[in-house]
Structure 1
Amino acid sequence: MATLSDVAAEAGVSPTAVSRYLNNRIDLPQATRDRIDAAIAKLDYRPNLLARRLSTGKSEAFALVTPDIANPFFAELAAAVERQAHANGYSVYITSTGGHADAEMNAIRRMADSHVDGLIMTTNRVDDGSLANLLAGRENVVLLDEDIDGVSVPRVFVDNAEGTYLAAKHLIAMGHRDIALIGGPHRLMSVNERLAGFTRAMDEAGLPVRPGWVLLGDYTRDYGVAAASVLLDAVDPPTAILACSDYIAIGVMQVVREHGLSIPNDISLVGFDDMAFAALVDPPLTTIRQPVAAMGELAVKHLLALLEGQTPAAETRLPVELVTRQSVAPPSRKALK
């Protein structure tokens, strides 16, 4: 294998100059940079990563903590983080926690042990204070998608309330008055904000938000099944359901079919996320599109800024949009009686 000295000899410079060039610690004339790059390519030189990390004091790696990499939403988010990190010379270590507190805390401790240069944290549970205590005072951390109370680090979220506001307004404009909402865990930031957006749209239309028609549990297909079963088994079911994730919406679709009903003829449905499968299900799902790739990319940019001693915005909210497909129609005459 070619060595640093081999590259230096080929390029006609000192080994120290090559080392400093590779570590971005020297400003060389373009002609010199070109000779070093050409020598590296010709000799197929591979830097000694361990030596480089010892020299720079950096691992050149980030940690991404995600609740469930099998979930298409978090998989897309992780892919965006990896792309942006790799483009800037960083590897990404991904921990899929399954929503378990111990796994989340272990990932944070690994950062404290200098195994990574920074951490992008996503969670799907309400913190009991444990995560906040571990993150308190730590640098080079960015929160993504969900908040953790008591932590002062840059955050990247979407406009959750605007999303459900647009969804509810769309259902109301289509003639629906009896609208239910199925959401994630009670007290989670996104859940509270999406409920607030829904409530705002209903209030503006002079429509009641029935307590029995707001069901909060998990952002999962299984919870969509359980909640939709409760709603459709009622004597007076809603004519429309706003599912606060596309995964929940898939569960709702299953229950609607099991009850011998159809979407949107018997009940209308709106999701939240716009995962790739949303356009492929039958009927194609009307949903709120989150800019998932932009979220992941911005989180990495914020982390890089922190590493460079800069101060990113304390909180960034990315816009969402309503994507209309075929899962919403005016309520049937039978439902209006």
Structure 2
Amino acid sequence: MKEFSSVTGLSRPTVSKYFNDPTSVRASTRARIEAALEKYDYRPNFFAVNQNRRYPKTLGVVVPQFTDPFFAEMAGLIERATINAGYFAITLSSHGSPEDEARAIEMIRSLNIGGVILSPLGRESDAQAIMRLQDEVPLLLFDSHIEGLDTPSLACDNAQGVTQMVDYLCATGTAPCYIDMPEVNSTAGERRAAYVAAMDARGFEPMVLPPSEMSWRLEAIGAEVTRAALETGGFPSSTVLCANDRIAIGVLSTAQRAGLRIGRQEELRLAGHDDHPAADLTVPSLTTVAQDKEALAERAVKITLDMIATGQPPSAPERLPSRLVLRESA
């Protein structure tokens, strides 16, 4: 920075002011700096500039898994919304591990970050670490929340989406059994509770099949639950609702290998949740509940930036509606 200031003939504070906010200097000064940038191909150290900012233009983003299609897509959409708002995103993964989540939080705390969007593991999260983070920067919990923490949160309305799907399946065929997902975050409990409540409201006995393991191997869980069901005479219903599309894909593959026909008028109807990128490519294509991912990403960034600007959290948790996507499987 010192050498670059020298070749522009401007003071270091003036150049630094430009890098913090190009509009904060006069047009003639800005043109002079930008001409020197092009001539000398100079680029300031982003982290050094950001660390010195009173109001950093960076958001921290932590997701549970980069390998999960939903969170991979959401990380990209949040980054795009962040850039569109004039900020940059530093994205980390907790890899489904409480220890890695705590380390990611400590990494975020060591940086000069304007705000944080965190998708927590939930009951396995280190609540104290999250509280320390919330004490230091505006924090939004995304997609799931943590019981007992008064932290702003944003997610899809799991109760609305699951209830809509149960209504549809009951109206068009047999009431569904439900393949649960592991308690990897609060979403699992919300969707299970919504299924049970929807079945009770319609006078049907809930039929919940527990996951075969506590992991993010969701396709494998769907496959293993299906194999176990087929070995004992089949599913308790000819309609199967899965807590997650990845589970449904495991069910679809395993059931078809066993010779079962899947579809609206076939032996087995199958539905999922989340509208996986491959949901319309499976054979048959998968009926599911779609979250408005773009709206979730844009709203997450908007809420976080509003907290940065005002210093005030939103008054209540926010839930965005989902919609049914009817395809061939149910």
1:323 corresponding residue in structure 2: 325
Aligned to 1:76: 73
Q: TM-score by structure 2 length?
A: 0.84
Letter in 2 for 1:229: R
Letter in 1 for 2:73: E
Which amino acid in the other structure matches residue 95 of structure 1?
Answer: L
Residue aligning to 1:161:
159
On the 8 A contact 1:221/1:251 being kept in 2, the answer is yes
Partner of 2:35: 39
d(CA) in 1 for partners of 2:209 and 2:189? 12
- Deviation, 1:148, is 1.5
Matched, 1:310 2:305: no
CA deviation after TM superposition for structure 1 residue 267, in Å: 0.4
Residue pair 2:121, 2:186 contacting (<8 A) in 1 also: no
Q: Which residue of 2 aligns with 1:333?
A: none
Alpha-carbon contact 2:98-2:121 (below 8 Å) kept:
no
Q: 2:127 maps to what in 1?
A: 132
Supply the AA of the counterpart residue of 2:104.
Answer: A
Contact 1:158 1:318 in 2 (8 A): yes
Distance 1:153 1:58 in 2: 22
Match of 1:175 among 155, 173, 176: 173
Q: Structure 2: how far apart are the matches of 1:173 and 1:55?
A: 60
The equivalences for 1:199-214 within 5 A come to 199-210=196-207, 213-214=208-209
Residues 168-247 of structure 1 aligned to structure 2 (within 5 Å): 168-177=166-175, 179-186=176-183, 188-210=185-207, 213-216=208-211, 220-235=218-233, 237=235, 238-247=237-246
In 1, the alpha carbon distance for the partners of 2:255 and 2:121 equals 27
Determine the C-alpha separation between the residues in 2 that align with 1:142 and 1:224.
Answer: 31
State the AA in 2 paired with 1:301.
K
Does the 8 Å CA contact 2:17/2:25 hold for their aligned counterparts?
A: no
Could you tell me which residue of structure 2 aligns to residue 268 of structure 1?
269
Q: Indicate how the Cα distance of structure 1 residues 105 and 38 shifts in structure 2: closer, same or farther if over 3 A, else same.
A: closer
* CA apart distance, 1:150: 2.7
- Give CA deviations for 1:74-118 in whole Å, capped at 9, x if unaligned: 110110121122334444333222211110001111223235443
Shift of 1:226: 1.8
**What's 1:97 paired with?**
94
Normalising by structure 1, what TM-score?
0.82
For residue 143 of structure 2, what is the aligned residue in structure 1?
Answer: 145
Q: Is the 8 A contact 1:108 1:119 kept in 2?
A: no
Aligned to 1:299: 300
- Cα 1:283/1:37, change in 2 over 3 Å: farther
Q: Matched residues in 1 for 2:231 and 2:224: separation?
A: 11
TM-superposed deviation, 1:155: 0.9
Give the secondary-structure state (helix, strand or coil) at the position aligned to 2:272. strand
Q: Which runs of 5+ in 2 are unaligned?
A: none
3-state SS of paired residue (1:126): coil
Give the match for residue 252 of structure 2.
253
Code of the residue aligned with 1:322 in structure 2: it is: L
Alpha carbons of 1:26 and 1:74: their partners in 2 closer, same or farther (altered >3 Å)? closer
What per-residue deviation string (whole Å, max 9, x for no partner) do you get for residues 305-324 of structure 1? Answer: 33334324242111100000
- Rounded to whole Å, the distance in 2 between the matches of 1:45 and 1:4 is 11
Q: What per-residue deviation string (whole Å, max 9, x for no partner) do you get for residues 9-61 of structure 1?
A: 6xxxx6644533432397566x5577457536654553343552353256644
Provide the identity percentage: 30
Contact 2:122 2:146 in 1 (8 A): no
Distance 1:54 1:198 in 2: 47
Aligned length: 318
- Structure 2 SS opposite 1:248: helix
SS in structure 1 at match of 2:270? strand
